[in-house]
Chain A
Amino acid sequence: MSSTENIYLPKVVQLDRVVDEIHEVRTFVWHFEDPVDQAAFKKFRPGQFAQVSIFGAGEFPASLPPSPTENEMFFTIRTVGGCTAALHRLQPGDRFAVRGPYGNGFPMDDYAGKNLVFVAGGIGLIPLRSCIVYALAHRERYQRIQIYYGARTPRELMYLSNLRAWEQAAEIECQLTVDRASDGWTGNMGVVGSLFKRPGVRVPVENTIAFVCGPPVMFRFVIRDLLDMGFREDQIMSTLERYMKCGVGKCGHCCIGVAYVCVDGPVFTYEQIKKLGEDI
């Protein structure tokens, strides 16, 4: 009998560069030591995730913020626990390990011909960044593309260079907001939902997919706003995060309702999320 591939065995990667994003959040650019692994991994879909191993600390699941259309591979990670803190201590040139990609991802190809509305709060932009960049790389496939993004303060806006480019770009409508402004902020103030009510803003509802990702409170209010606008529950997509140990539907930690978040998700429609019946 031939032996199956060991799904738990990570591949060694090298850290190339670390970029400070916001307080306690950094982007880690890396590449596989083996180009074959790199090529195999690059077939991931937006919305999928990977399991990251830090030597001596452990393993944790992480969203994949790059789009498969980009060259560089990177994670954007907030330090919240032991493993993420250990990653933050790594220096360029250090090794860690990655396995994946896992999960269903967003079916971006099924959305061809539709309007895409991205609504993100705080670090909720990390998983959505992949879809946005992917959609822009295949701009001709989609109708209108809108981004509504909010953070607590201007200093907590993620992916600033991307945001600036998206704000300038003609083929995309990008609206930013902050809860509390500081000096020099001339943009909108208020929660993400307040952007929908700004003069000149019109969110298309017909033939639209809305991507919502952010902290629980933001999520609840944005969902309410979208439903009030006339969105159906199956037009609203989000991605869940859960405690995971395996990423491949075995360890049981992320099992909610009838779904294993790691293999049946992490991308779900709001209709599905409601049925799963747990806190976001």
Chain B
Amino acid sequence: MRARVIDQADVLKLVDLLRQDRQVIAPFCGRGRDSYFDVVTDVNRDRIRLHVPNPLYPPKRCVLPHIERMMRMRRAAGGLWNFEPDYAETPLALFGVRSCDVAGVRHLDRFYLGREYVDAYYERRRRNLFVVNMVCTDPEVDIDDNCFCVCADTGPAARDAFDLQLMDLGGGEYLVVAGTAAGENLFSAPFFRPATAAHVERRRAILTEVRGRFRSTTSWFAATVRYISRGDVLDETWEEIGNRCLECGACTFICPACTCFTVSDRRIGKDEYERVRMWDSCALKGFTRMAGGFNPRRAVHDRRNRRFFRKLAHYFIQRELSMACVGCGRCAAVCHGDVGMPSVVEMIRRATAIAVPPTAESASVPSEKVTA
């Protein structure tokens, strides 16, 4: 195992090491539950928090900013126009990012890089990104009532898509695991020391213990994925979900696995425009409205149906090799109508299980045999 151990006092040295050749973004604490990701500077570096309630505004913006300039369009002499693509090539490190958010980036990777077309903007940001994952081990601070990564199978320790993974072993020691060659290269720094079998054993024990400390929120997907994929979900259930939706779009904007964007051209000077893309939300009515006014998806429950179908249908899971839900619990935390992912999964599972009894299918088989 490519693992090392560092002292808690040296974790900041790792941050400084990364800051030598890149901008580092790390979690900080505001007041109360408020926490946020910010750029590490000489002034704030001492206030970086490794154990922190996961910021609601996801670190997804490091690879998919909420607003991003794609190109400038300029009018030149003789009526000619030209396009100048605008790429972000700043090397960035995400420090102390949670496993759910790492899984979110992994999902975006498969969506933006792994399909018919590769997104050049995402690709550049992603290849300049160094990910330091922090395993959630503190049940009081790291894990809150809305977390359900154990159900989404993305945590509490990320399995891939990180360069380094930190885990608090207690007693002032952190285990560091390298996920890539770039991460392993950093092990040459003097403050790393070899991990022993005892350290690795402690990691295993802590993970086992932490898994048992997730709280009330569960989101057992299996049945719901099956019902949604087969089209078994009742219209009444979607309507109920739609009735509770306030159409604010918050669930999509804080979701680490949501991918939709809209594109807009705006004037930035004489004969000069910029084309920007920004996050868009399928919760909003205008999302599918076409020029001329025709909107194939008018009702709010159709739009809710769309969101959860897109996230959970077997077809898309196969296509992207993961659900578009990473179990971070943000949608559950921000939704005023209580139709975040865990609630919806429960609503669908309960309502459909009653309407579509699991025995119906199996019961019909013997009766057919009798008549034959």
Residue B310, interface by CB 8 Å: yes
A229 within 8 Å of B by Cβ? Answer: no
Q: How large is the interface on B (under 10, 10 to 19, 20 to 34, 35 or more residues)?
A: 35 or more
> In the complex the two chains form, what is the Cα distance from A8 to B316 in whole Å?
24
- Whether a CB of chain A sits under 8 angstroms from the CB of B263 is yes
B234 to chain A, nearest CB (A): 14
In the complex, are the beta carbons of B264 and A58 less than 8 A apart? yes
Q: Is the CB of A4 within 8 A of B313?
A: no
Question: In the complex, A219→B289 CA distance in Å?
Answer: 20
Pairwise interchain contact B75-A55, C-beta atoms closer than 8 A: yes
B267 located at the interface, meaning its Cβ lies under 8 Å from any Cβ of chain A in the complex: yes
Q: What residues of chain A lie closer than 8 Å to B273, measured between beta carbons? A: 55-56
Provide the residues of chain B in CB contact with A10, threshold 8 Å.
Answer: 83
* CB contact list, B259-305 vs A, under 8 A: 259-265, 267, 273, 275, 277, 280, 282, 287-292, 296-297, 302
Contact call B71/A241, Cβ cutoff below 8 A = no
Rounded to whole angstroms, the CA-CA distance of A57 and B262 in the bound complex is 14
Indicate whether A129 reaches chain B with its CB closer than 8 angstroms: no
Q: Specify which of A12, A243, A255 is in contact with B80 (CB 8 Å cutoff).
A: A12
**Contact status A279-B296, CB under 8 Å:** yes
Residues of A within 8 Å of B132, CB to CB, are none
In the complex, what residues of A have CB within 8 A of residue B80's CB? 12, 95
Within 8 A of B (CB), among A67-96: 80-84, 93-95
Tell whether, in the assembled complex, residue A253 and residue B297 are in contact, meaning their CB atoms are under 8 Å apart.
no
Say whether B261 contacts A55, CB under 8 Å: no
Which residue of chain B has the shortest Cβ distance to A263 in the bound complex?
B116
In the complex the two chains form, is A248's CB within 8 Å of B117's CB?
yes
| Chain A 41-78 interface mask (CB, 8 Å, partner B; 1/0) | 00000000000010111111000000000000000000
Contact of A249 among B115, B296, B297 (CB under 8 A): B115
Partner of B262, one of A82, A245, A254: A245
A residues less than 8 Å from B306 (CB atoms): 255-256
Report if A97 contacts B (CB, 8 A). yes
Asked whether, in the complex, the Cβ of B120 is within 8 Å of the Cβ of A95, the reply is no
Residues of chain A having any CB pair with chain B under 8 Å: 1, 3-10, 12, 53, 55-60, 80-84, 93-95, 97, 241-243, 245-246, 248-258, 263, 278-280
Query: Chain B interface (Cβ within 8 Å of chain A)?
Result: 70-71, 73, 75, 79-83, 85, 111-112, 115-121, 123-124, 127, 259-265, 267, 273, 275, 277, 280, 282, 287-292, 296-297, 302, 306, 309-310, 313, 315-316
**8 additional contacts (CB under 8 A) given A6-B85, A248-B116, A249-B117:** A6-B120, A55-B81, A58-B265, A248-B117, A251-B261, A251-B263, A252-B282, A255-B306
